[in-house]
Chains A and B, each alone.
Chain A
């Protein structure tokens, strides 16, 4: 088990006042709140900060933690001294900071009563008694909800997909010991799902305590970036490169869509940046999205003498200044 430096996690000094700790917590909670933050490790950081605050905001727990000494380094191998909490009475104020089931082994070993079981029968237990009772005794609570993110490919939204999800959930046995239970769920993801949507699996979260109902499992779906398509809600966007003559003269070109290539008619004098809509070719569903092909015009390089000559003839034939609209007030408009 690794030592956790709760002061470092919160970015406060060891002698910070309770007010300073609260301010630091609020600031970090806003920054890493999973509903607000888009940082990749937001959920982990948020839990870490919640755990640190759980200890530091409570003068009893903070004093007990401080008693471990200031010489520990974060990540250092840690084992609580046998009687480290002698003389501390945790009144079991309960968790207020959300997902208590996600707290670390380090937290559990200090405040959770886990690890007190094996080989330490007899006289032990007085220290963490109050707390353990609050968890195991005559009290019932609804289990925690679980949230997990799943990454799928765009193609999965068209065909549906299966994902295997491993969940580790603590459960409390009759003696009040916390045990970890591994569950694997095979979840069928329905077709037509869109990025940011959720799959709710009622009753698949943490089991309730003392007869409370189980929590729910929420899967938030995100899409892996796709080589060709970008997703905006139900719509797909695609860059469509055209040769200058295709754009100028009009053409019929093959455009890939997730359901297979289609023929698209390019009207004459199609400008770069123009969006051509393929109705109903976006993500499937009750209201299927559209696919937008944004025209990009790619000019071939002039490498050979013939190619250079072709470009020169081209230049001779046109009275064209691509920068005409750049001319500002007071300057000649380049023609």
Chain B
């Protein structure tokens, strides 16, 4: 088998914290979630994610919205959920994360 297409590359990349530094437009966000823009608009209408700016032509989203949107899309696709179901699941997952984090702060053995 030819090794033409296998190569080893080592690159130094500086990471940025998605939740804090990124802002994305509608097109970037839909491309990062691999869905049509209509899907993102539906997520906004359902209140799953909120643009920082509300003027439709200049919607800007934070990195935290990207994480949420990707999760919503994955849940819809993998579990066959509709958008309302994915929204509910996301809220419950957030709540669970908060509680788990609080629990770990109290009881390190958890």
Residues 60 to 96 of chain B near chain A (Cβ within 8 Å): 63, 66-67, 70-71, 74-75, 77-80, 89, 93
Residues of chain A contacted by B77 (CB below 8 angstroms): 98
A280 within 8 A of B: no
CA–CA, A193 and B18, complex, Å: 10
Residues of chain A contacted by B12 (CB below 8 angstroms): 186, 188
CA–CA, A25 and B105, complex, Å: 35
CA–CA, A173 and B15, complex, Å: 30
B104 within 8 A of A: yes
Size bracket, chain A contacts: 35 or more
Q: With contacts A198-B63, A231-B105, A232-B105 known, is A33 near B15, CB below 8 A?
A: no
Q: Which listed residue (A50, A181, A235) contacts B105, Cβ 8 A?
A: A235
Q: Which listed residue (B15, B89, B102) contacts A188, Cβ 8 A?
A: B15
CB of B97, distance to nearest CB on chain A (Å): 7
CA–CA, A225 and B107, complex, Å: 12
Residues of chain B contacted by A35 (CB below 8 angstroms): 71, 74-75, 93
Q: Could you count the A-B residue pairs with CB atoms below 8 Å apart for me: how many are there?
A: 119
Q: With contacts A117-B1, A179-B1 known, is A232 near B104, CB below 8 A?
A: yes
Which of the segments B3-11, B37-45, B47-55 contacts the partner chain? B3-11
Contact B34–A142 (Cβ < 8 Å) = yes
Chain B residue nearest to A147 (CB atoms) is: B70
Which of the segments A67-75, A105-113, A199-207, A322-330 contacts the partner chain? A199-207
Encode contact with B along A254-268: 1 for CB under 8 Å, 0 otherwise.
000000000000000
Residues of chain A contacted by B89 (CB below 8 angstroms): 36
CB of B21, distance to nearest CB on chain A (Å): 9
Q: Which listed residue (A117, A200, A230) contacts B63, Cβ 8 A?
A: A200
CA–CA, A262 and B13, complex, Å: 36
B31 within 8 A of A: yes
Q: Which listed residue (A30, A38, A196, A285) contacts B20, Cβ 8 A?
A: A285
Residues of chain A contacted by B15 (CB below 8 angstroms): 187-190, 199, 201, 219
Contact B102–A199 (Cβ < 8 Å) = no
Residues of chain B contacted by A274 (CB below 8 angstroms): none
Residues of chain A contacted by B4 (CB below 8 angstroms): 173
CA–CA, A286 and B17, complex, Å: 12
Residues of chain A contacted by B20 (CB below 8 angstroms): 192, 197, 285-286
Give the size of the chain B interface in residues (CB under 8 angstroms): 44
Encode contact with B along A169-182: 1 for CB under 8 Å, 0 otherwise.
00101000101111
CA–CA, A149 and B12, complex, Å: 18
CA–CA, A198 and B77, complex, Å: 21
CB of A97, distance to nearest CB on chain B (Å): 7
A54 within 8 A of B: no
Q: With contacts A181-B5, A183-B8, A201-B15 known, is A33 near B79, CB below 8 A?
A: yes
A252 within 8 A of B: no
A8 within 8 A of B: no
Chain A residue nearest to B80 (CB atoms) is: A26
Contact A171–B5 (Cβ < 8 Å) = yes
Chain A residue nearest to B11 (CB atoms) is: A185
Contact A190–B102 (Cβ < 8 Å) = no
Residues of chain B contacted by A62 (CB below 8 angstroms): none
CA–CA, A276 and B101, complex, Å: 19
Contact B5–A29 (Cβ < 8 Å) = no
A213 within 8 A of B: yes
Chain A residue nearest to B108 (CB atoms) is: A230
Contact surface of B with A, Cβ cutoff 8 Å:
1-2, 4-20, 22, 31-32, 34, 63, 66-67, 70-71, 74-75, 77-80, 89, 93, 97, 100-102, 104-106, 108
Contact surface of A with B, Cβ cutoff 8 Å:
26, 29-30, 33, 35-36, 38, 46, 50, 97-98, 117-118, 142, 145, 171, 173, 177, 179-190, 192-193, 195-202, 204, 213, 216, 218-219, 225, 230-233, 235, 237, 285-286
5 contacts between A and B (CB under 8 A): A180-B6, A184-B9, A187-B15, A197-B17, A199-B17
Closest 7 CB pairs of A and B: A199-B15, A232-B105, A198-B18, A188-B14, A200-B18, A237-B105, A186-B12
